[in-house]
Homo-oligomer: A and B are copies of this chain.
Amino acid sequence: MTSRSRERSAATASAPSLQERANAEAVERICAAEPVLVDVRPAIEVVPGMTPETILTSGAPLEWDEYAGGQRAGIIGGALFEGLAEDAGDAEAKIRAGQIRVRPCQEHGCVGSLAGIYSASMPVFVVEDARRGNRGYCNLFEGVSPYRLNYGVYNEQVGENLRFLQEVVAPLLGQAVSLAGGVPLRPIIRRALHMGDELHSRNTAATLLFTRELFPALLELVGNRAGEVRKTFDYLKSSDYAFLRLSMASSKVAADAAHGVEGSSVVTAMAFNCRDFAVRVSGLGDHWFRGPLPTKFGAKLFEGYTENDIEFMGGESTINETVGLGGFAQAAAFALQDYQGGSAEKMVEANLAMYEIALAEHPEYRIPYLGFRGVPVGIDVHRVVATGITPLLDIGVAGKQGGQIGAGSYRAPLECFAAAVKEYARRYA
């Protein structure tokens, strides 16, 4: 059943309402998106509204004093990496003075992994929706060390690694992408779902497929730039998560395509900052509807850690769940049990529940175990509130000392959806 026909059949015999038409349109845009990686460039050159003194970070915006723990440390780390301040105290003073500007990623077309720190010189993947032309951006996976800027850690080693990405990996990837004439990401995501990925906490197949797409270009480049080609290949091989940033940017362009449809109650972003979880809704402008951080932990922690060590420091990779991946496609990725706990049975059950709150099924992104059923797409805030079922989020877990300490499936809080339903009723009364 297409999203449109499903919308129609859900309607009464009378003509579809504004909400029904708007939601059909929003869902259609998500499903039609054809994300293509077109470039890899420093943020300052491509990100809308980026300035030399801007630091982007995950989640709905907060006052500076509200940023705490790893997210606060990450923002300061980003300022230091960019050379905007001498030390942490100087960075704080300049932030307070407005000389360093802290802004939410998503309002600049970006999407942040965990703390989601972007500074002007950092390279970003540039992903374009070939259907609508809108663009989304995501910076690069920092590698396999548990200590990374996006997990709230900044030190010499983290800085050195960021410079390696900036000076070696990103320019080479950019040239390879350009030689390849762009890399269509929809076919990679489609295939990866048949190969055990849900594209959030598991990107193993997608990373491999992406690497293979670049290989002919790497063969062309190796003659003059052998060292850089080998280092870039090693970077791509070293981690099964490299593609996560591309699935996030892909999801961002799909979700953004669906944003701003008058009358639509479809969720177009879900994001953490260190204090709250928030959603945006297509027909409700750029307002963030906030709710508390999840307290139901479904995490599997690395050895030596307990739940007391968990800290929320932001995270917008839940843009993937927003368009039907991650927790909405768990039944495609049973190997995730090993990484984030749970059982195959519970994963299937949790995945099936997501169909209850979604308006459609993706025509191409399909789950083999569910008889190739399309992933559930188009979270309707009304369905969430009516059923009490909230989105399931496959996320990395950060620790209080910084760094990744595990992974898990969490439930989004109901409060933000309830707030959106209330505002929807007020606005479209």
Q: Which range contains the number of A residues in contact with the other chain? A: 20 to 34
Alpha-carbon distance A212/B242, docked complex (angstroms) = 15
A196 interface residue (CB < 8 Å to B): yes
Instruction: Specify the chain B residue showing the minimal Cβ separation from A219.
Output: B222
Cross-chain contact B219 with A334 (CB below 8 angstroms): no
Query: A368 — which chain B residues lie within 8 A by C-beta?
Result: 196, 334-335, 337-338, 344
Q: Known interface pairs A212-B208, A219-B229, A223-B223. Does A335 touch B370 (Cβ–Cβ under 8 Å)?
A: no
Q: Count this chain's copies in the assembly.
A: 2
Alpha-carbon distance A334/B334, docked complex (angstroms) = 11
Query: A191 — which chain B residues lie within 8 A by C-beta?
Result: 204
Alpha-carbon distance A332/B32, docked complex (angstroms) = 30
A389 interface residue (CB < 8 Å to B): no
Cross-chain contact B215 with A233 (CB below 8 angstroms): yes
Query: Which label, helix, strand, loop or mixed, suits the secondary structure of the A interface?
Result: helix
Instruction: Specify the chain B residue showing the minimal Cβ separation from A222.
Output: B219
A287 interface residue (CB < 8 Å to B): no
Cross-chain contact B219 with A230 (CB below 8 angstroms): yes
Within the complex, which residue of B208, B223, B337 is in contact with A209, where a contact is CB–CB below 8 Å? B208
A218 interface residue (CB < 8 Å to B): yes
Alpha-carbon distance A191/B335, docked complex (angstroms) = 10
Query: A211 — which chain B residues lie within 8 A by C-beta?
Result: 212, 215
Cross-chain contact A335 with B194 (CB below 8 angstroms): yes
Alpha-carbon distance A335/B204, docked complex (angstroms) = 16
A428 interface residue (CB < 8 Å to B): no
A195 interface residue (CB < 8 Å to B): yes
Alpha-carbon distance A233/B204, docked complex (angstroms) = 21
